[in-house]
Amino acid sequence: MAAGDNLIRCGFCGHEFVEEQGNVGCKNCPMSSGCKMIKCPRCNYENPPEPALVKGIKKLLRR
């Protein structure tokens, strides 16, 4: 796994996947650019995107 990948944990099934994978799953979304939901590749649950603040905190914890 490349450094800098954003791991998303599905809020429904707990499956962890890279943010890019989830975004690919949303290509069928009618809102071509407006939809920011990240779909779980396993169960198709749409996870809300993480706020930048949360990502920053995660980076600090990851050290």
| Cβ atoms of residues 57 and 50 within 8 Å | no
Q: How far is the CB of 25 from Zn ion (least distance, A)?
A: 10
- Binding residues among 2-61 for Zn ion as defined by CB under 5 A: 10, 12-13, 15, 40, 42-43, 45
Burial status of residue 50 (CB atoms within 10 A of its CB: 0-12, 13-18, 19 or more): middle
Q: How far is the CB of 61 from Zn ion (least distance, A)?
A: 23
- Cα separation of the two ends of the chain: 17
Instruction: Name the residue nearer to Zn ion (CB basis): 26 or 45.
Output: 45
The footprint of Zn ion (CB under 5 A) covers: 10, 12-13, 15, 40, 42-43, 45
